Structure formats: C-alpha cells, structure tokens
Structure 1
C-alpha cells in the first residue's frame, strides 16, 4: 500500500446523542490478525443497533472498534495469519462486530460470504445483518416450517423485508405490520399475504380474520412493550414468540397462564455477543439456506436510499424517522 493508503476515513460518535454527534475522522488502516481479513469497503449497511450505539444505549464490546457499522460489502485486500493468501481479491459480504462505516474494515474470515453474483455491492451490503438475524431467529429458534403462518412486525424495515421474503420463499403464509398504506402496499409486492396497517387496524383482530380465528404459529417481534400481550393473544396453540428488538420497552409483565394454556415458547437472541465460532456456524447456514434463494432472485434486499459516507448523519435520520422501506446503505467508493 502507498503512504496515502495508510490512513482511512471512518465514522464515530463523538459522544452519545442524536445523528449530529456522528463525525468523519481519519484513522490508521487496521491490520488483520490471526483468522482475519481486511476488506476495502464498497458499501456498508445502516442498522438500528448502530443508532442505539450512537445514543449510548448499548456499549461497544471490549476489543471492538468504536467505528460504527455491522455489515459491509467489498473486496479482500489483505489476509492475516491462518487465512490463505488466495482469498485476496475476493468480492465478499461480511458480518462484523464493528468498524463497517469506514473505507477499510476487519472481518473474521469465517464471517465472510461470497457476494452473490446477481447483486452489486450496494445491494449485497444490505444482506449480512438481516440474513443472519432472520435465519437464526425465524427459522432456527422460531422453527418456522412450510405451511405455517407467521406474523412479522416492522415489515418495512431491513430485517422485516428480509423476513417477509424468506418466509414466503420457504412456503409460509406471511402476515406483516407496517405504518401507512404506502408501506403495506410495498410489502404486498414483496410477497406478504396480509399487510396490516397498525395505524388504522388492530393487528390482533386483523390476524384472527386472516387465519380464520386460529392465530399464527410464529411472531417475529421488534416492538416489545404493549405488543407482547397482544402477540400472545394472536398466537395459536404451540406458537413461538421470537423477540429481536424492544422499541417500546424490554421490561413487560407476562401472564404465564396464557403461556401455559397455549403451550407457547418464548425466545430471543442478538448477534453481536455471539462467539466467533457461533457466527461461523451461522455464516455457513446462511450460505447453505439463504444464498441459493438470493441467487434465484427470490430474496433481494430492497435498497431504500444510499448516502456517501460523508452524509452518514442524513442516513441515520432516515432510520430515526422510520421513513425507510428496506435498507439504507452508505457508499464508500
């Protein structure tokens, strides 16, 4: 690398706060350690955990860069000990623990997946966080199978759009919620069987009508708070409730009688604290189960808007305002 390439642009939060605390700074290029690769970033996805980190609501794990960003697409330009040099030049996407909002980013080699041939780097950058999250939570933990019915809250989000498409592609009946007629219409184009406008409809009643009173087999919830009791009401006997975010609050009273009488199962997970080994396992599962659907065009991350790295403040504001239908992506080249 030339002398000019030894520094890179990166985005950090100068202090906890709103989007305005995001700063573009110069940082030395990170050097890959054992099992790692250095990726020249073409594009990086923007996710709600980034907003939470910026606000100070979640702490950066020990040893992780303070540069924001959990998913990237780009090219491997350096390899660390234990990684074959033959991987140099690969076009990949990667789930990372941090550091994605930068011109270069470290990733564990096992957390990288080849970029699907039919996607450009911008679209591919919207894949890792959503694909890992949805596969693990909806299918591994939630146990969704063909012929079952699922309710996906926040359907127009990056996670939601991935969940709607994957559930539909694997033969489930898909109910989803979103705010406003524009978003519900958009979700129908992605394959949702029933798109419920939570602003004008009671999703419990709408869900009961859609299922002939039976209820749904799985709920994928991002809201928490008052939604929990209502989700339980809509779940069919033997239903599974999967929580992946708590926009309305994580501490809620639960009537265990309902859980007992319906034989419900409650589960939840988040990616960032998982071990290197578990993320490697998930990467291979996603590559085996999700990537073929992407290659066939059955699953595509819809890109709502792109921003250059220098406009990261505007990118965060889009998510903050819940304005997006699909992914918001930062471009670095």
Structure 2
C-alpha cells in the first residue's frame, strides 16, 4: 500500500511518500480502508521535535486519526462491522496510509446523516471542543473569548459557546479568518494581529468571563487582561510556540483562574460521541479548510505550521 514515512525529526521534508506492507487485522482489531486522515497541530510538533508520549523507532508512519470503511476484522471482533463507515484513532501511528489496523473497541460508527469527511474532521477537534466547554462550566449569558477562532478546535468552540447561550468574541489572525469566525456565529470578531485588538474587545463587550486559549504567548497574555473577576482561562494549544505562562500570583490578583485542564480519559468516548451526534443533528458544523492528497503530506504540514490554514486539514489517500 501507499503510505507516508517520517524519516527523521525536523522540517516537513522529513515526511516522505513510499510503500509499506499491508496491515492485517489481528486479535481485537479492525482493518480500515482509509478515505480521510485528519492532521492535528500536535502531529506537526511531533514531526518537528519528536516531542510526544512515546519514542517510536524511525522510520515510522505517523498519523492518529482516520476514517473509512471496515474491510476485515480480527478474531473475536463483531463481523457485522465489515462494510460500516467508521472513524478511529490509531494509537499514535499508522494513519498516513491507505489502510490502518486499529483497536476495534475504539471505533466510532459514523451516524446517519453525517458525511464521512465531517466525522473525521470532528474526531480529535470535536471531543476537544466539547471537553473544553464542559470543563469551563459555561453558562448562558457569559462572555466568551475564543482565540485561534478559525482553527479546527476554534471553529467548533465558537459554535458550541453560541449554542450554550454565550456572547462569543472570536480572535483570529487575518481578515479572512476573522470573517470565517463571524460567519460561524461569533457576535464580535477581531484580528489579534492588530495592536489594539483588546481595546476593540473592551469597547464591544467590556471584559470577558471565559477565554479558550489556543494560541498562547503574547496573544494569550494580552487576552488574560480582559478577564473579569471570577473569570477563567482554559489553555489548550500553543500555536504561537509557547504556553501563556500566567503565574498563580497574576491570576490571584485578577480574582481569576488560568488553567491547563487535563482530559479525563474515561470521558474521551463520551465527548467524541457527543460531537458526532451534534453534527449529525445539524447543530455543529466542522470547517474543513483544505485537503491534500496523501503524497503531499509534507505540504499539508508546511501549510499548518505557517498558519495559513483554516479549520481542519485532511489527507485523502484515494
């Protein structure tokens, strides 16, 4: 089969198309004919530095989120899964390929009425956004600032916060991304590349009660100054290359919280299923900004790291 190999840690050029042995569904596994692969920002960091929860042997096939049709199952796996459309994590590797053998217990059936590409786009980002809204304890009437509002998670946070009854302020980089966030339902949308962006937020809504921080760095530190007493900042990403690094003393002075919440692994499935169900019902719309054929995975990574992408980036093996 065709695949993309990570030959070393470094730039996007370390992703090299090539052949790989066809995987086989072992005990407890299902074999997926991959139609779409989702790329996460974390994967670009792993490619660049090797930072991650494990140290694989190189070369390896990266990729942690796939969607397609089950073509075979291993021993002790329900044979009625064959022919079903599913999305699944791979466990951290093996996704950038035409086929992937995955743990059958981790499969998610694609709900009726939801396109397969949308389901793949929601696999990682949908559960993250749903978990963040849950962790924030968001209630109607609160003012919510979403950083990186045109990204994969940010576009979903805008919609979920709006559905929860919040006043949504979207911060994104560049006019096109600002317009996308506004189209998704943001009440106020600002370009955080403008030096007075926080002044514009204050003029529109005063302070904010919740910040979903997907950028980190100077953007997040500026956003933190918008928090009113009792507010909370939840940091989940560092598109800038660094975390917000708000000290406990600074948070205490504002009477606010700056937290980096930890995902409860026992809730992963619940949050994923919730996102898929909301999308199937038409209440959540993933934004797929760009698609690349599998052999151009290096270009996809380069686009993400240059921050020229919007929404979700997918690879298409076929």
Name the TM-score, length of structure 1 as normaliser.
Answer: 0.85
The 4+ residue runs of structure 1 with deviation greater than 4 A are 62-65
Give unpaired runs (5+ residues) of structure 2: none
The answer for the alignment partner of 2:116 in structure 1 is 121
RMSD across aligned C-alpha pairs, in angstroms?
2.5
Q: Give me the whole-angstrom Cα distance separating, in 2, the residues matched to 1:253 and 1:283.
A: 30
The answer for the alignment partner of 1:283 in structure 2 is 269
| Greater mean deviation of Cα atoms: 160-169 or 115-124 | 115-124
The answer for the alignment partner of 1:169 in structure 2 is 163
Aligned ranges 1:183-198 → 2 under 5 Å = 183-198=177-192
1:143 aligns with 2:137: yes
C-alpha spacing 1:70/1:146, structure 2 compared with 1 (3 Å) = farther
Equivalent pair of 2:172/2:190 in contact (CA under 8 Å): yes
1:296 aligns with 2:281: yes
3-state DSSP class of the match of 1:209? helix
The answer for the alignment partner of 1:134 in structure 2 is 129
Equivalent pair of 1:94/1:113 in contact (CA under 8 Å): yes
Name the TM-score, length of structure 2 as normaliser.
Answer: 0.89
Q: Give me the whole-angstrom Cα distance separating, in 2, the residues matched to 1:251 and 1:60.
A: 18
The answer for the alignment partner of 1:5 in structure 2 is none
The answer for the alignment partner of 2:63 in structure 1 is 69
1:63: Cα distance to partner? 6.7
The answer for the alignment partner of 1:239 in structure 2 is 231
Question: CA deviation digits over 1:182-208, x for unaligned, max 9?
Answer: 211121111111111112253322222
1:106 aligns with 2:101: yes
Q: 1:305 aligns with which of 267, 273, 290?
A: 290
How many residue pairs end up in the alignment?
A: 316
C-alpha spacing 1:35/1:265, structure 2 compared with 1 (3 Å) = farther
Equivalent pair of 1:10/1:101 in contact (CA under 8 Å): yes
C-alpha spacing 1:245/1:55, structure 2 compared with 1 (3 Å) = same
Equivalent pair of 1:70/1:129 in contact (CA under 8 Å): no
3-state DSSP class of the match of 2:225? helix
Equivalent pair of 1:116/1:294 in contact (CA under 8 Å): no
3-state DSSP class of the match of 1:290? helix
3-state DSSP class of the match of 2:20? strand
The answer for the alignment partner of 1:324 in structure 2 is 309
Q: Give me the whole-angstrom Cα distance separating, in 1, the residues matched to 2:307 and 2:221.
A: 24
3-state DSSP class of the match of 1:38? strand
Equivalent pair of 1:76/1:89 in contact (CA under 8 Å): yes
